[in-house]
Amino acid sequence: MATAFNHSEFNELVRSRRSVFPKDYTGETVPDEIIQQMLENANWAPTHKLTQPWRFVVYTGEGLKKLAQLQAACYKQVTEKDGSFKEERYQNLLNKPMQSSHIIAIGMKRDEKKSVPEIEEVGAVFCAVQNMYLTATAYGVGCYLSTGGITYFEEAKEIFGLSKDDVLIGFLNVGVPKDSATTSKRTGINKKVNWIKK
């Protein structure tokens, strides 16, 4: 069976993908051209009925400070009302974005007709995220998808141009990794698959 792609290189790319935490970034700036390629490849994720539900807001440079202020203010507003405010978490939201070269807020924009189940739309966005991860890996760039902070705050949606029917998926932190030789833990696939041939 002939194909146009190198199987070994592709398999190695998939197996080399890692989550690299912002604390493990060098502080160097990733070229915007690489981020743009990540976004272009995200746009080719599978999508039922071509709804293309992914939405991205990219923060870099001074924009990271703006993101930090917005998310810290949102956290404070929500948690002071319910009594769960923690100063350490607030300070983390103010300071940690500066560890990354870029942070991409990732949303799922709901199809207006709602002709596709929400879980399929969310799944499509996660496929787009995987495309970004693989692209970053191919360029020697590190990524980490964070779903902490204000991700699940209903009040956070408006900050990123999302409506109440949409979903804030999380924040993709991007940076140059200090060490490319990272390891990952996986159990064998055979324990997770049943083959039915008859």
Other CB atoms within 10 A of residue 88 CB: 7
Residue 111 pLDDT greater than 90, yes or no? no
In this predicted structure, what is the pLDDT of residue 182?
66
List residues bridging with 55 in a β-sheet: 107
- 89-110 mean pLDDT: 97
The reported pTM is: 0.95
The full set of domains in the chain, from first to last, is: 20-160 (3.40.109.10)
SS3 per-residue string spanning 21-41 = CHHHECCCCCCHHHHHHHHHH
Q: CB burial class (10 A; 0-12, 13-18, 19+) of residue 67?
A: buried
Please report how many Cα atoms fall inside a 13 Å half-sphere around the Cα of residue 191, on the Cβ side: 3
Span 31-41, pLDDT tens digits: 999 999 999 99
In this predicted structure, what is the pLDDT of residue 15?
92
